[in-house]
Structures are given as structure tokens and as C-alpha cells.
Amino acid sequence: MTFLAAGAPGAPGPGAPALIGVPYDATASFRRGSRWGPAAIRFASASIETYSPPLDRDLEDVAFIDAGDLPVEGLEPAAMVHTVRRSIGPGLPFLLGGEHTLTLGAVQALAARHRDLAVLQWDAHTDLRNEYEGAAICHATVMRRLLDEGIPLVQLGIRAGTREEFAIARQRSLHVSRAVEAPPSLLESLRERPLYLTVDIDVLDPSVAPGTGNPEPDGAAYAELLTALRGLSRHRIVGMDLVEVAPPWDPGGATPVIAASLVRDMLLLFAPPGAPERPAG
Ligand SMILES: [Mn+2]
């Protein structure tokens, strides 16, 4: 199956989890290409099984829709963020990037709806600069903007950033670690809280997912990330994204397949329970 086919007539209604593509990479500082992420993930989704053996769940038993891509080409970053913010409907949003900046719009929309929203970030990078090359809204500052809006932040898999960014992370994030798994006590403290999950594909090791703008050595294995996500399967997830998939930098084409597997597994873990409304016949 492809994710896009999930949006066919007869698929679940507007309250279902929604995949939303954000083909945008205008502020990429090193290597562009994540604008082709959503399309590549959809294409790769045709090649993966809908069943996950470790989770023992099947995507064919999960109700979700693919809402297509947002019209963000040519927009300034602030306008892109605004477009993302307005796109967040009643169903669980699952944004596909695209550069990490898009997270700001999704979290702003959900924070207005859910008091006490907290964000869990899996990423090689802190993304805590105050500005980068003169820009306040870009992929290198996105988590700083969330902190500035008073959003509690948990940073996992972090292994790159400036000395100042790490100092800010230690002062202002709820938690920052090189490990991809949050400590059990922290997970317990987040149990009742609405949570937004943002996964930068570069949290994985470049040998696993080389197709990204700013690869960093010594990243996580897929199984480690999946274990970390499984630790949240009983939490209250109200939104999520997978960002920074940049297909042109992976001629072998593995990265979009890995990303599609991750989209499947996150849907299996976090989509609300309930049988899909399958069309008759
Ligand atoms: Mn990153």
C-alpha cells in the first residue's frame, strides 16, 4: 500500500490521524533537498509491509488519511509556519518534512488547544540558536522559539550544537541527553500531559539514514529509536512529525524507506484505537 492510497474515497473521516506533507527547505543551511521528503516517503511506502513484527500490529487496522501536501513553495519561513499552523485539524496531525522549522507551526496550533503541551524532540542537533545567519525562524532556531513560547522541551539523541546551545539546553530544557530513551521518572512525570513528538531523521546514524541535510556521526540505530518511542505508547500523543528527510543526498534510496517504516511504526504506536471504516466490497 502507499500512504497516499489511505486517503482514497471510503477512508476515515476528518477526525482520523492525518499525514500532512510540508515540502519546504528554504532555510536549509548546508544541503537542501528535504522539500522532496514527503513525496519520497510516500513513494517508498509502497515498498514496506503494513505489518510490524516487533509491534505485532498492522497498518491496515489503523484509521488514518493522507491529506497531501501544503502549498508552501516560495513562502517566507514565517508564512510557511503560519500555513502549517492553520492546517492542524481535529485529527492527530502527523507532519512529514521538509525542514524542521515546520514544527513551530504545529506546536503553536496544538499549544493553543492543549494546556500543558510538552514537546519531545529526537534529533542529532539542539536547534537552540537564537538566530542563524540573521534568521530567527529557521531549522537551527526552531526549538529555541518553542522554549521562548514557554513550551516544555525534552531533547533526546542530541550530539551536536554550539557550547551556548548546550548551556541553554541544560538550563531551560526539561531534559537533554545523548541517549534516545527518556529516563523512566521523566516518562512517568509526562504521563498525563498532552505530548507532541518531533523526530528529525538525523537522530539516526548516517549509516542508517544518510539522506539528510546535516548528518552527524554516532547516531542511533533504528531499533533504539523504536524502543524509545514504544516507551510512550501509553502516553497522550496529540501531534507528531518526521522531518529533514532529504532524498537527493541518499542515492541508494534507503532513507525514504527507513522514514516510511518510521511513519508506519509511529502510526501503529500512536494512532487512536478504533477500527477503520473500510469501504464495502
Ligand atoms: Mn537535526
What's the pLDDT tens digit per position in 39-56?
999 999 999 999 999 999
Domain total of the chain: 1
What's the gap in Å between 273 CA and the centre of ligand 1? 31
**25 carries a ligand binding annotation:** no
**218 carries a ligand binding annotation:** no
Question: Is residue 278 in some structural domain?
Answer: no
Question: Which cell is 117 given?
Answer: 503541551
pLDDT score, position 54? 94
What's the gap in Å between 149 CA and the centre of ligand 1? 20
Count CA atoms closer than 13 A to 80's CA, side-chain side.
26
Question: Is residue 62 in some structural domain?
Answer: yes
Question: Is residue 275 in some structural domain?
Answer: no
What's the gap in Å between 203 CA and the centre of ligand 1? 7
- Please give the single-letter amino acid code of residue 98: G
pLDDT at 264 over 50: yes
Name which of 27-31, 94-98, 150-154 the model is least confident about. 27-31
> What element of type H or E holds 196?
strand 194-200
Cβ atoms of 96 and 241 within 8 Å: the answer is: yes
**Where on the phi/psi map is residue 37: left (φ > 0), alpha (ψ -120 to 50), or beta?**
alpha
What's the gap in Å between 97 CA and the centre of ligand 1? 12
CA distance 89 to 62: 18
Kindly report the pTM of this predicted structure: 0.95
Question: Is residue 243 in some structural domain?
Answer: yes
What's the pLDDT tens digit per position in 63-86?
999 999 999 999 999 999 999 999
Question: Is residue 9 in some structural domain?
Answer: no
Question: Is residue 277 in some structural domain?
Answer: no
Question: Which cell is 177 given?
Answer: 541527553
CATH number, residue 234: 3.40.800.10
What's the gap in Å between 222 CA and the centre of ligand 1? 16
Q: What is the domain extent for residue 121? A: 19-270
Question: Is residue 11 in some structural domain?
Answer: no
